[in-house]
Amino acid sequence: MSTPFYVSPQQAMADRAEYARKGIARGRSLVVIQYADGIVFVGENPSRALHKFSEIYDRIGFAAAGKYNEYENLRIGGVRYADLRGYTYDRDDVTARGLANVYAQTLGTIFSSAGEKPYEVELVVAEVGATPDGDQIYRLPHDGSIVDEHGSVAVGGNAEQISSYLDQRHQEGMSLAEALKLAVQALSRDTNGTEREIPAERLEVAVLDRTRPQSRKFKRIVGRQLGRLLEIDGAATEAESSDEE
Amino acid sequence: MEANTRSTGRLPAAFLTPGSSSFMDFLSEHQPEMLPGKRQLPPTQGVIEAPHGTTIVAVTFPGGVVLAGDRRATMGNVIAQRDIEKVFPADEYSAVGIAGTAGLAVEMVKLFQLELEHFEKVEGAQLSLEGKANRLSTMIRSNLGMAMQGLAVVPLFAGFDVDRDRGRIFSYDVTGGRSEEHHYAATGSGSVFARGAMKKLFRNDLSEEEATTLVVQALYDAADDDSATGGPDVARRIYPIVTVITEDGFRRLTDEESSEIARSILARRLEQPDGPRAALL
């Protein structure tokens, strides 16, 4: 048996972070944006069945970039956590903050335990409030840190560039159509600055819509409704954009 | 184990283990004591007194199904509650009404709703109506021990089958035996009288409005002959809960709508106490 080389903790962590980041960067980025009536999730996803966004609980949605099997596992863990908590206490006691903490602990433990390979995922947990002030968006990078975001957030390989694009253009109180268009523009810019077209069939879009009468606010936007929203002019009125079903 | 769901620690291994899409299966592995069916029962003498829900009725019409319940809960000969709710949405396309031990039934409904929602979230698709009905069977079966001690729960399950494009009704017995009912069904202490009323009033071509009126007529007749079933309480403005499930999903009639139906029926019953007559031949 050969003697193992000494690797400093700093170096070991940097290597693990590098590994996770590279894994995440292989996938496409996605964005989560606040708009007047809620929060919209937009990403490029050629698959109809393997979702990047999903419902966790009444007002809480989940978005993930990176390795599918790993974030799917975390997603189901989150659904189980939320459902058990709601069953034990009350539906109101399930919060995005609580869920984000659990994810952060989970990712953090995996990241720093030498026996496990770090997860190659970056998550967003969002909760829609009764008013825009009550909206919460948490970004959870692979190492278990939590970032409390406002307005807009991007995760995935090209996230930094997309984020800065969004930060410059995002405004409070945008309509759904405006927010969706901004998201698509941000996603269609490649690293080298060139633009490409993302057809509607390759887009996965979901919203947490606070105006829905049901207690479950998560809804996927597909087919004709998506087409309609993409066609609406940027200066469209609220009424047109908050088109139901 | 329990501490893990309360503190904000790492998700326990059980949460991240790939497995069933059923919340009940997850609970029975992770925290079995949370399941009503897994509870240890103390030895008891005689029948336990607890509030009982009474009459639930359902009727199909072209395009959907109506499920309704009276508002009375009784404990022996005492009215335990005058405005109890015994009809609940199970999910977007189905509803469940419960007769029997109210406390256990409400708990069962809560778990059943969660079971359907959990499946939907994990799988990204809804269970078939048949699948939902079977799931409810399993839950009633797990309550058999308590049912033997007099704490039975007997639900009526109704939903819109999106695959077959029609409303369907399933009734249950205390052992979880399930049977699909055609046209109309009733459960609970007033069910015999309600069924008689529906038998005479049912037609194949009812409109949604006629169907909602029919169930309130049936509940009135049940309350007329069964002391445990409550009729429309005009003085307190407590009216039956009427729900409609169609292609568009679940809808509960507002208090105004159900009071209007109940009041029009009451007005007619003042003239004709036994209600509408069916033709003799």
- pLDDT tens digits, A162-172: 999 999 999 99
pTM score: 0.91
Instruction: Report the pLDDT value the prediction gives residue A239, as an integer from 0 to 100.
Output: 46
Q: Is the confidence at residue A67, as pLDDT, over 90? A: yes
Q: Which of B16, B92, B121 sits opposite A54 (nearest CB)?
A: B121
What is the sign, positive or negative, of the torsion defined by CA atoms of A45, A104, B35, B94?
negative
| Selected residue with higher pLDDT from A235 and A226 | A226
Minimal C-alpha gap between B103 and chain A (Å): 15
* Rounded-to-integer distance, Cα A123 and Cα A138, Å: 8
Does A52 lie at the interface with B, CB-CB under 8 angstroms?
no
In chain B, the residue whose alpha carbon lies closest to the alpha carbon of A106 is B10
State the pLDDT at residue B225.
96
Mutate to test the interface with A, among B16, B92, B252 (most CBs of A within 10 A): B16
Which chain A residues are Cβ-neighbours of B10 within 8 angstroms?
102, 105-106, 108-109
Say yes or no: A89 contacts chain B, CB-CB below 8 A: no
**Do B34 and A101 count as a contact with CB atoms less than 8 A apart?**
no
**Is a pLDDT exceeding 70 seen at residue A238?**
no
Cβ–Cβ contact A86 with B under 8 A: yes
Percent of chain A at pLDDT exceeding 90: 76
CA distance B81 to B73: 5
pLDDT band at A1 (very low <50, low <70, confident <90, very high): low
Q: Does A98 touch chain B (CB under 8 A)?
A: yes
pLDDT digits (tens, 9 = 90+) for A19-65: 999 999 988 899 999 999 999 999 999 888 899 999 999 999 999 99
> Which of these ranges, A107-116, A227-236, B180-189, B196-205, has the smallest mean pLDDT?
A227-236
Tell me what the pLDDT averaged over chain A comes to.
90
Residue B18 pLDDT: 87
pLDDT along chain B (281 residues), means of 10: 54 89 92 84 78 95 97 95 96 96 93 96 94 95 86 95 96 94 96 97 96 98 96 96 97 97 97 92 85
Q: What are phi and psi for residue A60, nearest 5 degrees?
A: -115, 130
Measured at the alpha carbon of residue A91, what is the angle toward residues A88 and A97, in degrees to the nearest 5? Answer: 95
**Is B54 an annotated catalytic residue?**
yes
Closest CA–CA distance from residue B193 to any residue of chain A (Å): 35
Of B8, B44, B54, B212, catalytic: B54
pLDDT at B39: 78
Confidence (pLDDT) at B147: 87
Contact check, Cβ <8 Å, B11/A56? no
Name the one residue in this structure whose structure tokens are 């980041």: A21
What is the rounded CA–CA span in Å between residue B245 and residue A43?
A: 34
Non-local CB neighbours of A33 within 8 Å, separated by 6+ positions: A39, A40, A42, A151, A152, A153, A166, A170, A174, A179, A182, A183
